[in-house]
């Protein structure tokens, strides 16, 4: 990540961001697709193979005085391969974030995050499952620290601002992680590898820790890079409508590196 320009600069629509995304975060807005396999699917009347689709990303609007204002829209959904790719459910996300590089090795952000969750139409028609109306708005603050070149860790806290007590929502949320990236370390410098661990916990789930792990290759493609990786998630379904359901899945996916 780059450092912000001089404090006197004023730039609309900067081409880069100042805050790294969390690689293994199952709810992170990004462009990617994965095949998900479930040894023991827990969503009622769902199959053991699904497609996980993620759309979105982080886009800079304004950089000024060492800070940058970004928007982060996204879509996170699952489609049931065993039931004609019916949409099981999806989350619509939009975040408004301010970030800064306080030092070369320390980046921070503050802002608001919104999630509106939905049950897939086909799944609802087949099963009769009705939407509980899971929507969450929160204030959030996070920090990313580069421990040494190639290694970084992060921590983030969120506090819900508008909650539905009748469905069990509570305000607190915590998230931490550790990541390693080694570009150009394989294939005579043509490929690299990465590994990432994300741990999330929420008060509405009695602070149960939900781990996600991802490891794979970094593949350059012109001026872009892709992650081709394997992942495992053990915990809450990363779709708000099913937040009380615990599942374990294995993932084989392809994701665009911003």
Convert the pLDDT of each residue in 217-246 to its tens digit: 999 988 889 999 999 999 999 999 999 999
Better-predicted residue by pLDDT, 4 or 129: 129
State yes or no: pLDDT of 137 exceeds 80.
Answer: yes
Q: Say what the pLDDT of residue 99 is.
A: 98
Please tell me the distance from the alpha carbon of residue 42 to that of residue 129, in angstroms, as a whole number. 14
Handedness of CA 56, 91, 155, 232 (dihedral sign): negative
- Report the DSSP beta bridge partners of residue 233: 212, 249
Q: Say what the pLDDT of residue 143 is.
A: 98
Q: Average pLDDT for residues 50-77, to the nearest whole number?
A: 97
Confidence of residue 8 (pLDDT cuts 50, 70, 90): low
Structural domain boundaries of the chain? 10-257
From the DSSP assignment, how many helices (H) and strands (E) are in the chain? Answer: 1, 14
**In degrees to the nearest 10, what's the CA dihedral of 52, 28, 217, 32?**
40
Q: Say what the pLDDT of residue 7 is.
A: 52
Would you call 204 helix, strand, or coil by DSSP?
helix
Q: Average pLDDT for residues 25-36, to the nearest whole number?
A: 97
Convert the pLDDT of each residue in 138-189 to its tens digit: 999 999 999 999 999 999 999 999 899 999 999 999 999 999 999 988 988 8
pTM: 0.93
Would you call 4 helix, strand, or coil by DSSP?
coil
First-to-last C-alpha distance (Å) of the chain:
11
CATH topology (fold) of 10-257:
Outer membrane phospholipase (ompla); Chain C (2.40.230)
Lowest average pLDDT, out of 2-6, 94-98, 118-122, 237-241, goes to 2-6
C-beta contacts of 206-211 below 8 A and 24+ residues apart: 207/172, 207/174, 208/235, 208/236, 209/235, 210/234, 210/235, 210/236, 211/235
Please tell me the distance from the alpha carbon of residue 202 to that of residue 60, in angstroms, as a whole number. 28
C-alpha angle 198-33-96 in degrees, rounded to nearest 5: 60
Q: Say what the pLDDT of residue 153 is.
A: 98
């Amino acid at each position: 990540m780059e450092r912000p320009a001089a404090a006197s600069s004023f730039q609309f629509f900067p081409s880069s961001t100042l805050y790294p995304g969390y690689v293994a975060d199952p709810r992170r807005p990004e462009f990617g697709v994965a095949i998900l396999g479930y040894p023991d699917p827990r969503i009622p009347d769902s199959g053991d193979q699904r497609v996980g689709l993620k759309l979105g990303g982080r886009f800079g609007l304004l950089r000024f005085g060492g800070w940058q204002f970004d928007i982060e829209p996204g879509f996170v959904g699952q489609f049931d391969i065993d039931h004609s790719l019916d949409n099981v459910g999806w989350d619509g996300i939009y975040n408004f974030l301010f970030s800064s590089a306080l030092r070369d090795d320390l980046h921070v952000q503050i802002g608001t995050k919104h999630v509106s969750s939905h049950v897939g139409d086909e799944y609802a028609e087949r099963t009769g499952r009705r939407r509980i109306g899971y929507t969450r708005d929160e204030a959030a603050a996070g920090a990313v620290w580069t421990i040494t070149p190639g290694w970084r860790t992060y921590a983030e806290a969120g506090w819900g601002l508008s909650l539905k007590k009748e469905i069990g929502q509570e305000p607190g949320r915590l998230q931490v992680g550790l990541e390693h990236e080694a570009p150009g370390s394989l294939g005579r410098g043509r490929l690299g590898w990465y590994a990432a661990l994300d741990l999330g916990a929420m008060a509405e789930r009695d602070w149960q820790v939900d781990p996600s792990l991802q490891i794979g290759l970094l593949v350059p493609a012109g001026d872009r890079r892709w992650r081709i990786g394997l992942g495992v998630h053990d915990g809450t379904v990363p779709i708000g409508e099913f937040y009380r359901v615990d599942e374990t899945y294995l993932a084989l996916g392809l994701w665009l590196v911003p």
